[in-house]
Amino acid sequence: MEDTNQKGIIAYFANNPVAANLLMVFIIIMGIVSYMFIQRQMFPNIEVNYIDVRATYPGASPQEIEESILVKVEESIKDVTGIKKVVSRASRGSAYISIEVDVNADIKRVLDDVNQRIDTISNLPLGMEPINVYQVEWRQDVIEMGLVGDRPLEELKPIAKQIEDELLQL
């Protein structure tokens, strides 16, 4: 004797096999269509809400880097709207600032604002290289290389560029 008083979605499909089969076919077709149109990348770039600022001042001590670069950059960007957190680090010859951007802020606008503020700093040291400001992109590198030696940085840079060009031609 069949119990027709059962209620619920499982009972409905158990009592109506045609509807169950139609639903299954629909789900399979939608899966195939989705598979055909889904975007695939081997190494996708993932946007993260961080902006990095890097500066190089060859031969400068961490103390000099902090006083002559980091303090000025931090002061110039402190009231940019959309910045959540700023972390700075000084090492021999280089400065690094990581800026965490609020998730609700437009990161491109914050990046432009940070660039403009840094460009207006007038009293940076003369011997330093231009400051690099860029949005962080998470990506999985296939290979990462470093070039070190007893030569000065000015001699190592052309060698690194030559190696990079040769690797890109492979």
| Mean pLDDT, residues 7-17 | 89
Q: In what order do the strands lie in the sheet with 46-56?
A: 83-91, 94-101, 46-56, 132-138
- Among 1-10, 53-62, 131-140, 150-159, the range with the most confident prediction by mean pLDDT is 53-62
| Mean pLDDT, residues 52-56 | 94
| Mean pLDDT, residues 152-158 | 88
What stretch of H or E contains 87?
Answer: strand 83-91
How do the domains of the chain map onto residue ranges? Answer: 1-38, 46-140
State the amino acid at position 25 in one-letter form: V
pLDDT exceeds cutoff 80 at 68: yes
What pTM was estimated for this model as a whole?
A: 0.58
pLDDT in tens, 84-112: 999 999 999 999 999 999 989 999 999 99
How many C-beta neighbours within 10 Å does residue 93 have? 18
* CATH topology classification for 46-140: Alpha-Beta Plaits (3.30.70)
